[in-house]
């Protein structure tokens, strides 16, 4: 069974500019059994739009709930177990969004779809791009 968690940028690229994703990644996702998006990604997009770091993602803010599900993704649950795992995991990476995404993938046994090389430093985390 192939189960994936999309990093925030991967989900955004699916809706804003698919050409930014490798063809092989798109093909793999089309064949996936389950694809998840973390609710922390909604917060990350909103934060980055608000502070001006990602203005092109603004259209996703009002359509997030509509797009999740319609695009074949499901919203992963952000639980206390995931939050605690993110807080205590032995990984020097400090970005709270990335820590939540890594913890979500680990706790739910998902492969993280990301182009962010920072995740490669997390031992045992499965990634794909």
How does pLDDT run across 10-25, given as a tens digit for each residue?
999 999 999 999 999 9
What pLDDT shows up at residue 108?
99
How does pLDDT run across 84-123, given as a tens digit for each residue?
999 999 999 999 999 999 999 999 999 999 999 999 999 9
**Cα separation, 77 vs 53, whole angstroms:** 26
Residue 54 tokens read as: 């990602």
CATH number at residue 32: 3.40.50.1010
How does pLDDT run across 57-79, given as a tens digit for each residue?
999 999 999 999 888 899 999 99
Cβ–Cβ < 8 Å for 95, 118: yes
User: Could you tell me the pLDDT band of residue 9, with boundaries at 50, 70 and 90?
Assistant: very high
**Cα separation, 76 vs 36, whole angstroms:** 6
Domain boundaries, position 68 = 3-128
What pLDDT shows up at residue 70?
85
Q: How many domains does the chain have?
A: 1
Cβ–Cβ < 8 Å for 57, 49: yes
Query: What pTM did the predictor assign?
Result: 0.95
**Cα separation, 27 vs 107, whole angstroms:** 25
């Amino acid at each position: 069974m192939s189960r994936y968690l999309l990093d925030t940028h991967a989900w955004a690229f699916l809706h804003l500019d698919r050409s930014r994703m490798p063809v092989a990644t798109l093909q793999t996702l089309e064949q996936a059994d389950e694809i998840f998006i973390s609710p922390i990604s909604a917060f990350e997009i909103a934060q980055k739009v608000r502070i001006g770091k990602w203005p092109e993602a603004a259209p996703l803010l009002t359509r997030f709930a509509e797009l999740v599900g319609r695009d074949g993704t499901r919203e992963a649950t952000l639980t206390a177990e995931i939050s605690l795992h993110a807080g205590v995991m032995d990984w020097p990476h400090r970005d709270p969004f990335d820590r939540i995404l890594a913890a979500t993938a680990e706790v739910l046994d998902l492969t993280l779809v990301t182009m962010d090389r920072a995740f490669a430093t997390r031992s045992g985390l499965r990634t794909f791009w």
